[in-house]
């Protein structure tokens, strides 16, 4: 397996590339590969790919993309070249099971099967902003969810009443975030639960300063080191990856592609969506990835459903599941906010999709989240309920597609809804939704039951 030191050397010795030239080269390369490998949307409203040959063609296109382009280091403006054997070796040798946590809270995060079979792994929350007065209490509430395998951190703009400006304040805020996570899981009675640091900034000092077995990251915890869009990496994250590789933490990458960028449309995003987690394994040794395809209209909360994007996401994850050992998870990103029925319906649909495409589940969060308004524990518990019901029903791709189509029809024409702050719709002291939100949840659960999902 190619070493991180070899990658570091190539970021210094690779050919110089102007970033705008890299962007256009990426666009031309992926456009050509889409045509060469005949990657086409089926021209209907299917949510789940049913074509067994398409994932293999898409996977070959992604391998060719990485072999031809490599990875672009934005820090040095150089191309990190990769040969096909290096890429295939990292795919073959990447672990498909990742241990995390300590004692009774030790868990194994693992690669799932297409069309389900086993209960999926769960990260129930965060990756969203909260104010410091709510920090450890919010963490405690998410850690109280029994199925929680790990908890990711959160961001914030002020610490100790001061605005976070510059490296010294960032380092302090980073350490405070890790301490709040540690404190919250202890309050929940789960001191060994794995936590994952969500970077305040991507400077190396901010990434490394949270290593602290007592108040920060232990060797059994994790850190988010994401590859940038368009197959781009940065040296500060590589520096942190080298340190954490020796320290022992597992690493996570945000590895989805965004349709409409330099990768082109959804077919081009499939190529990047497969190539990106493989590149993240090579660049940072990431072993867990939230993967797939998103669209700018969904990410900015303009449009509730884009079935062609769901289809593209299913192609990506079917390819990674069949032809790599990549451990994937679905970042559940509803366009509507907490406390609304539309939020819960969107979460249900994305959870069904995840199970059938062989993905674990990660941090349901409003796509346009603002401070204290991104998520509540109810959404996570609902996500788990739906995933378990999907697994229990043994839904195959065709059955899941039919169910998702019917659910989509039930909300057709609706616009995203803003939702409520966590303190408005959830009781953080009693660990339960307020009565009005609980009623919304029960109505949505009945609606899914009428649509064909059976809950125990």
Question: Alpha-carbon distance 221 to 211, whole Å?
Answer: 10
45 pLDDT higher than 80 = no
Pair of tokens at residue 274: 């497969």
pTM (two decimals): 0.96
Q: Say what the pLDDT of residue 85 is.
A: 97
Answer whether 198's CB lies under 8 Å from 126's CB: yes
b/e sequence 83-100, b meaning 16+ C-beta within 10 Å: eeebbeebbeebeeebeb
> How many CA atoms lie less than 13 Å away from 41 in the CB half-sphere?
19
Would you state the pLDDT for residue 161?
A: 92
Give residue-wise pLDDT tens across range 2-37: 999 999 999 999 999 999 999 999 999 999 999 999
Average pLDDT, the chain: 96
pLDDT tens figures, 234-246: 999 999 999 999 9
**Cα–Cα distance, 162 to 71 (Å, whole number):** 38
DSSP code at position 188: T
For residue 62, the SS3 value is helix
**Cα–Cα dist 359/243, whole Å:** 29
Q: What is the pLDDT of residue 302?
A: 77
Q: Report CA torsion sign: 408, 412, 415, 417.
A: negative
Q: Any idea which fold 121-338 has?
A: TIM Barrel (3.20.20)
Please state, as a whole number, how many other Cβ atoms lie within 10 Å of the Cβ of residue 103: 10
> Going by C-beta distance under 8 Å and a sequence separation of 6 or more, which residues neighbour residue 367?
298, 299, 300, 301, 333, 334, 335
Sequence-separated (6 or more) residues with CB below 8 Å from residue 192: 101, 102, 103, 104, 105, 106, 220
- Quote the CA–CA distance of 419 and 217 in Å, as a whole number: 33
Residue 436 has pLDDT above 90, yes or no: yes
Q: What sign does the dihedral 6-10-13-14 (CA atoms) show?
A: positive
pLDDT band for position 304 (cuts 50, 70, 90): confident
Stretch 375-395: mean pLDDT, rounded?
97
Q: At a CB cut-off of 8 Å and minimum separation 6, what does 435 contact? A: none
Phi, psi of 53 (to 5 degrees): -85, -30
What is the per-residue pLDDT for 403? 95
Give pLDDT, residue 391: 95
Report yes or no: 390 and 400 within 8 Å, Cβ to Cβ.
yes
Per-residue model confidence (pLDDT) at position 43: 76
Asked if residue 252 has pLDDT above 80, the reply is: yes
Q: Provide the pLDDT confidence category of residue 305 given band limits of 50, 70 and 90.
A: confident
Nearby residues of 43 by Cβ (< 8 Å), 6 or more positions away: none
Give the model confidence (pLDDT) of 84-127 as tens digits: 999 999 999 999 999 999 999 999 999 999 998 899 999 999 99
The per-residue pLDDT for 47 is 95
**Torsion angles phi and psi, residue 97, rounded to 5:** -135, 130
CB contact at 8 A, 280 and 327: no
- The answer to whether 358 and 321 are in contact (CB under 8 A) is yes
- β-strands 426-427, 432-433 pairing: antiparallel
Exposed, middle or buried by CB within 10 Å (0-12, 13-18, 19+), for 54? Answer: buried
- Give the confidence band of 152 by pLDDT, cuts at 50, 70, 90: very high
Between CA 108 and CA 103 the distance in angstroms is 12
């Amino acid at each position: 397996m190619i070493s991180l030191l070899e990658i570091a050397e190539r970021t210094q010795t690779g050919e110089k590339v102007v970033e705008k030239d890299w962007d256009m080269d990426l666009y031309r390369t992926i456009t050509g590969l889409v045509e060469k490998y005949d990657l086409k949307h089926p021209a209907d409203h299917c949510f789940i790919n049913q074509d067994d040959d398409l994932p293999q063609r898409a996977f070959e296109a992604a391998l060719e993309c990485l072999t031809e382009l490599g990875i672009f280091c934005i820090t040095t403006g150089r191309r990190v070249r990769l040969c096909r054997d290096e890429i295939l070796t990292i795919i073959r040798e990447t672990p498909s099971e990742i241990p995390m946590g300590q004692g009774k809270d030790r868990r194994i995060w693992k690669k799932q099967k297409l069309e389900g079979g086993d209960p999926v792994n769960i990260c129930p929350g965060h990756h969203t902003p909260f104010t410091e007065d709510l920090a450890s209490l919010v963490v405690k509430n998410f850690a109280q969810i029994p199925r929680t395998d790990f908890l990711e951190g959160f961001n914030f703009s002020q610490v100790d009443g001061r605005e976070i400006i510059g490296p010294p304040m960032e380092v302090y805020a980073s350490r405070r975030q890790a301490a709040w996570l540690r404190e919250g899981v202890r309050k929940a009675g789960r001191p060994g639960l794995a936590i994952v640091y969500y970077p305040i900034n991507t400077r190396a000092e901010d990434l490394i300063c949270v290593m602290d077995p007592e108040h920060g990251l232990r060797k059994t915890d994790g850190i988010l080191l994401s590859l940038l869009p368009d197959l781009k990496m940065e040296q500060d994250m590589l520096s942190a990856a080298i340190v954490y590789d020796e320290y022992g933490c597992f690493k996570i990458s945000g590895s989805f592609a965004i349709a409409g960028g330099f990768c082109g449309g959804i077919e081009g995003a499939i190529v990047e969506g497969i190539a990106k987690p493989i590149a993240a394994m090579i660049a940072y040794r990431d072993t867990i990835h939230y993967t797939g395809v998103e669209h700018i209209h969904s990410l900015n909360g303009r449009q509730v459903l884009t079935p062609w994007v769901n289809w593209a996401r299913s192609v990506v994850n079917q390819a990674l599941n069949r032809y790599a050992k990549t451990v994937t998870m679905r970042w559940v990103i509803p366009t509507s906010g907490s406390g609304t029925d539309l939020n819960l319906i969107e979460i249900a649909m994305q959870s069904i999709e995840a199970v059938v495409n062989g993905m674990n589940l990660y941090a349901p969060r409003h796509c346009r989240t603002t401070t204290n308004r991104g998520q509540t524990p109810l959404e996570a518990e609902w996500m788990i309920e739906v995933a378990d019901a999907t697994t229990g029903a043994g839904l195959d791709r065709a059955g899941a597609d039919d169910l998702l189509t019917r659910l989509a029809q039930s909300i057709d024409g609706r616009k995203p809804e803003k939702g409520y702050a966590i303190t408005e719709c959830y009781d953080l002291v009693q660990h339960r939704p307020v009565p009005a939100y609980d009623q919304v949840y029960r109505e949505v659960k009945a609606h899914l039951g009428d649509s064909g999902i059976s809950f125990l």
